[in-house]
Structure 1
Amino acid sequence: MRILFLGDVVGRPGRSALKRNLAAIRSEQSIDLVLANGENASGGIGLSSKSAKELFSAGVDFLTTGNHIWKFKDMYAFLDKEERIVRPANYPAGAPGRGWALFAPEGFPEMAVINLMGRTYMQALDCPFAAVERILEEIPESVRVRIVDFHAEATSEKQALAWMLDGRVSAVLGTHTHVQTNDARVLPQGTAYLTDLGMCGPLDSCLGMDPESIIKRFTGGLPQRFHVADGPTILQGAIFDLEESSGAANSISVWHMHIG
Structure 2
Amino acid sequence: MKMLFLGDVMGRAGRAAVAARLPGLRADWGLDFVVVNGENASAGAGLTPEHAKALLAAGADCLTLGDHAFDQKDMLRFVEAEPRILRPLNYAREAPGKGARVYLDRRGRKVLVAQVLGQVFMKRPFDDPFSAIDAVLRAHPLGGMAQATVVDMHCEATSEKMAMGHWCDGRASLVVGTHTHVPTADAMILAGGTAYQSDAGMCGDYNSVIGMDKAEPMRRFITGMGKERFTPAEGEATLSGVYVEIDDRNGKATRILPIRVGGRLAQAAP
Residue equivalent to 1:214: 217
Alpha-carbon shift at residue 138 of structure 1 (Å)? 2.8
1:79 maps onto 2:79 in alignment: yes
Match of 2:186 among 172, 183, 186: 183
- Out of 137-146 and 100-109, give the one that drifted further: 137-146
1:248 and 2:265 aligned: no
Cα distance in 2 for partners of 1:76, 1:231 equals: 30
The answer for the alignment partner of 1:21 in structure 2 is: 21
- Paired position in structure 2 for 1:130: 131
Q: Which residue of 2 aligns with 1:36?
A: 36
Per the TM alignment, residue 22 of structure 1 is displaced from its structure 2 partner at its CA by 1.3
Cα 1:84/1:63, change in 2 over 3 Å: same
> What amino acid is aligned across from residue 48 of structure 1 in structure 2?
T
CA distance in 1: counterparts of 2:47 and 2:234, whole angstroms: 19
1:257 to 243, 254, 261: 261
Shift of 1:20: 1.3
1:74 Cα deviation from its structure 2 partner = 0.8
Counterpart AA for 2:189? V
Q: Which runs of structure 1 show a deviation greater than 4 angstroms over 4 or more consecutive aligned residues?
A: none
TM-score, normalisation: structure 2: 0.93
CA contact (8 A) 1:204 1:230 kept: no
The match for 2:111 is 111
Please give the secondary structure, in 2, of the residue aligned with 1:133. Answer: helix
Q: What is the SS of the residue equivalent to 2:34?
A: strand
Equivalent residue for 2:165? 162
Gaps in structure 2 of 5+ consecutive residues: 265-270
Q: Percent of pairs identical after alignment?
A: 42
2:242 maps to what in 1? 238
Pairwise CA distance, 1:9: 0.3
What stretches of structure 1 of length at least 5 have no aligned partner? none
Aligned partner of residue 4 in structure 2, secondary structure: strand
Task: Tell me the secondary structure at the aligned position of residue 215 of structure 1.
Answer: helix
Other-structure match for 2:268: none
> Structure 2: which amino acid aligns with 1:213?
E
Letter in 2 for 1:82: E
1:19 Cα deviation (Å)?
1.1
CA contact (8 A) 2:45 2:72 kept: no
One-letter identity of the residue aligned with 2:248: E
Q: Which amino acid aligns with 1:112?
A: L
**CA offset digits 1:171-221 (Å, max 9, x no partner):** 100000100011000001100000000011112111111011101122232
Q: CA deviation at 1:144?
A: 3.4
Q: 2 CA distance for matches of 1:146 and 1:127?
A: 20
Residue 95 of structure 1: aligned partner: 95
* Preserved CA contact (<8 Å) 2:176 2:199: yes
Code of the residue aligned with 1:201 in structure 2: it is G
Q: Give the total of aligned pairs.
A: 260
Q: Deviation of residue 72 (structure 1)?
A: 0.9
Report what 2:70 is aligned to: 70
> Is structure 2 residue 170 aligned with structure 1 residue 192?
no
For residue 226 of structure 1, what is the aligned residue in structure 2? 230
| Structure 2 residue 12 is the aligned partner of structure 1 residue 12 | yes
Q: Is the 8 A contact 1:17 1:259 kept in 2?
A: no
Corresponding residue for 1:174? Answer: 177
Look up the equivalent residue of 1:129 and give its one-letter code.
F
Can you list the C-alpha shifts for 1:44-64, whole angstroms capped at 9, x where unaligned? 111111110010111111101
Letter in 2 for 1:215: M
Superposed displacement of residue 230, structure 1? 2.5
Displacement of 1:222 after TM fit?
3.1
Structure 2 letter corresponding to 1:65: L
